[in-house]
Amino acid sequence: MHPSSCDTFVALPPSTQGQRVIFGKNSDRPCDEVQEVVFFPAKDCDPDEKVECTYVEIEQVAHTYAVVLSKPAWMWGAEMGANEHQVCIGNEAVWGRENANSEEALLGMDLVRLGLERADTAEKAVDVITELLEKYGQGGSCMEDDCGFTYHNSFLISDRKEAWLLETSGKYWAAERVEGGFRNISNQYGITTKIDKEHPEMREYAQSKGWWDVNTEFNFATVYSFLTTARIESAGSRYCEGKKLLEKSGGCMTAEAMMDILRDKESGINMEGMFMTTGSMVSVIPTDPALPGVHYFTATPDPERSVFKPFVFVKNAHLLKETTSPSFGPDDPVKTKPRFQSKPDRKHQLFVKHELAAAIIESYKDKGQKITEMMRQLERELIHEMEKILTQGIEEPDDLVNLFSSSVQKEMSTYNKS
């Protein structure tokens, strides 16, 4: 099984409970990779400033939005995240007829972060990502220890009113708007004949390669995909299983129902083995702009054995750096490349404690059940607290400044009790 075999989901009214958009993603990565949760406040930037992405340097914009990200600790970019305008993005690895570029360029994860920093709507994020793709290209190894591991990217992007599916092949791309119901993506192309935006030369290029006969209807997935590969087949079954799980919610998707989907091991969505689910995210975004969104992150592997902890964008929000992010955080600009740190240094406190708890759950049935129940109880309490905020709004923003950090501390104290 290949890494980055992620799954991303979105449910929009009328398939959700209440007027809310529910976004979810599992990030599947090498099992020894640490995923950290980091927050970067909004900032005005110097016009001459450059952005040091994972491999390449690009031009900065005048203003970046506040973002919360779940990211592999060695990388500049992120697997998934959200911004202060309640835009959420997750990416997937996709392979097609076009070879992925092994030369260092922007990673799909860099594009996730850049889209969140620069776009205040889902559609704008499509524009930001595709413009960067045109200018800088995508490429480079997506794994720290495997230089040959490269792929194209697809993105699921949502905001308060809609979602966009963006799929790329080199610099070519197609995008589809999703205005209701639900959508999931796995490691395969999913845009067919409904294309709402596209690279101006995308069809012409496919025709020049002999992939498309102009007399037939243009179907992006058919034209740009391999006909058969083991990778696509395994992704296909996960994609189908994911779709079934979304349908099972019966049009009443909630944060808990999305968490259950991400925890599902039978479908392969919660991956185990050499490549496993190393971080998970669920966001709940009310369509009413007066109400805040709540973004839950695990910051630990295996959502079945993790607590989804909430983050809300408020003024002065921050995360406790040492508990979820050892390499850098809001007050520590990225001056040194995080990928040059040694691996043990990247394990944050929560990751270390969680590793010990996971070992106990694995080895001692009674003790393990007790820990798991305490974790679930904590999660239920956190979701219950957030429900008030999602329906009534924020009364005391200062109470939420340390929301994620204090939830991490509560989780760690449940491990101490065991």
User: What is the DSSP-derived secondary structure letter of residue 343?
Assistant: G
The neighbour count for residue 47, using CB atoms within 10 Å, is 8
Tokens of 229: 């590969």
**Residues 335 and 384: beta-carbon distance below 8 Å:** no
Distance CA 103, CA 23 (A): 32
Instruction: Give the three-class secondary structure for 246.
Output: helix
**Active-site residue set:** 6
Tokens of 172: 């070519």
- Does the bond joining 14 to the residue before it have cis omega, within 30 degrees of 0? yes
Distance CA 95, CA 67 (A): 29
Contacts 24+ apart (CB under 8 A), 386-394: 386/255, 386/284, 386/294, 386/310, 386/312, 389/291, 389/292, 389/294, 389/312, 390/18, 390/20, 390/284, 390/286, 390/291, 390/292, 390/294, 391/18, 391/291, 393/290, 393/291, 393/292, 394/292, 394/312, 394/314
Distance CA 113, CA 69 (A): 8
